[in-house]
Amino acid sequence: MTEPRWLDEPEQRAWRSLMTMQDGLSEFLDRQLRTRCGLSDADYQVLAHLSEAPEGRLRPFELGGLLRWEKSRLSQHLGRMENRDLVTRERCLTDQRGAVVVIAPRGRDLIEVAAPQHVADVRSALIDHLTPAELRTLTTIGDKVRKRLAELEREQLDREQ
Amino acid sequence: MTEPRWLDEPEQRAWRSLMTMQDGLSEFLDRQLRTRCGLSDADYQVLAHLSEAPEGRLRPFELGGLLRWEKSRLSQHLGRMENRDLVTRERCLTDQRGAVVVIAPRGRDLIEVAAPQHVADVRSALIDHLTPAELRTLTTIGDKVRKRLAELEREQLDREQ
DNA sequence: TACATCTGGTTGACGTGTGAACCAATCCGC
DNA sequence: GCGGATTGGTTCACACGTCAACCAGATGTA
Sheet with B57-58, strands from edge to edge, namely: B57-58, B99-103, B87-91
Mean pLDDT lowest among A40-44, A54-58, B1-5: B1-5
Query: What's the pLDDT score for residue A144?
Result: 95
Per CATH, domain B32-116 is 1.10.10.10: yes
pLDDT surpassing 80 at residue B3: no
Give the C-alpha separation, B99 to B59, whole Å.
Answer: 6
Choosing among 3.40.50.11310, 1.10.1040.20, 1.20.900.10, 1.10.10.10, the CATH entry for A20-129 is: 1.10.10.10
Q: Express as a percent the part of chain A with pLDDT over 90.
A: 91
Query: What's the pLDDT score for residue B4?
Result: 74
Give the C-alpha separation, A32 to B155, whole Å.
Answer: 13
Give the C-alpha separation, B7 to B16, whole Å.
Answer: 11
pLDDT surpassing 80 at residue B158: no
Residue A161 CB closer than 7 angstroms to strand D?
Answer: no
Is residue B48 less than 8 Å (CB to CB) from chain A?
Answer: no
Rounded to 5 degrees, φ, ψ at B103 are: -70, 135
**Which DSSP helix (H) or strand (E) runs through B57?**
strand B57-58
As a whole number, mean pLDDT of residues B25-30 equals 94
Nearest to B6 by CA among A29, A116, A129: A116
Distance from CA of A11 to the nearest CA of B (A): 7
Query: What's the pLDDT score for residue A3?
Result: 62
As a whole number, mean pLDDT of residues A109-120 equals 95
Band (pLDDT 50/70/90 cuts) for residue A155 is confident
Distance from CA of B75 to the nearest CA of A (A): 20
Question: Which residues touch B148 (CB under 8 Å, ≥6 apart)?
Answer: A124, A125, A126, A129
Taking CB atoms and an 8 Å cutoff, what residues of chain B touch A152? 28, 124-125
Task: Please indicate whether, in this complex, the C-beta atoms of A119 and B7 are within 8 angstroms of each other.
Answer: yes
Is residue A113 less than 8 Å (CB to CB) from chain B?
Answer: no
Nearest to B137 among A119, A134, A149 (CB): A134
Band (pLDDT 50/70/90 cuts) for residue B160 is low
User: From residue A40, how far is each of A28, B89, B111 by CA, in Å?
Assistant: 11, 34, 33
Band (pLDDT 50/70/90 cuts) for residue A158 is confident
Nearest to B10 among A18, A21, A135 (CB): A135
Band (pLDDT 50/70/90 cuts) for residue B153 is confident
Give pLDDT tens digits for B89-131. Answer: 999 999 999 999 999 999 999 999 999 999 999 999 999 999 9
Nearest to B78 by CA among B104, B114, B55, B108: B104
As a whole number, mean pLDDT of residues B2-12 equals 85
CB of A37 closer than 8 Å to CB of A114: yes
Mean pLDDT score across all residues of chain A: 93
Query: What's the pLDDT score for residue B154?
Result: 85
Give the C-alpha separation, A110 to A47, whole Å.
Answer: 9
Distance in Å from D15's C1' to A3's CA comes to: 43
Mean pLDDT lowest among A57-66, A119-128, A150-159, B15-24: A150-159
Question: Which residues touch A141 (CB under 8 Å, ≥6 apart)?
Answer: B17, B21, B130, B134, B138
Is residue A149 less than 8 Å (CB to CB) from chain B?
Answer: yes
Whether the CA torsion A52, A54, A55, A56 is positive or negative: it is negative
Strand stretches in A10-158, DSSP E: 57-58, 87-91, 99-103
Sheet with A99-103, strands from edge to edge, namely: A57-58, A99-103, A87-91
Whether the CA torsion A148, B41, B143, A68 is positive or negative: it is positive
Give pLDDT tens digits for A5-35. Answer: 899 999 999 999 999 999 999 999 999 999 9
Give pLDDT tens digits for B40-63. Answer: 999 999 999 999 999 999 999 999
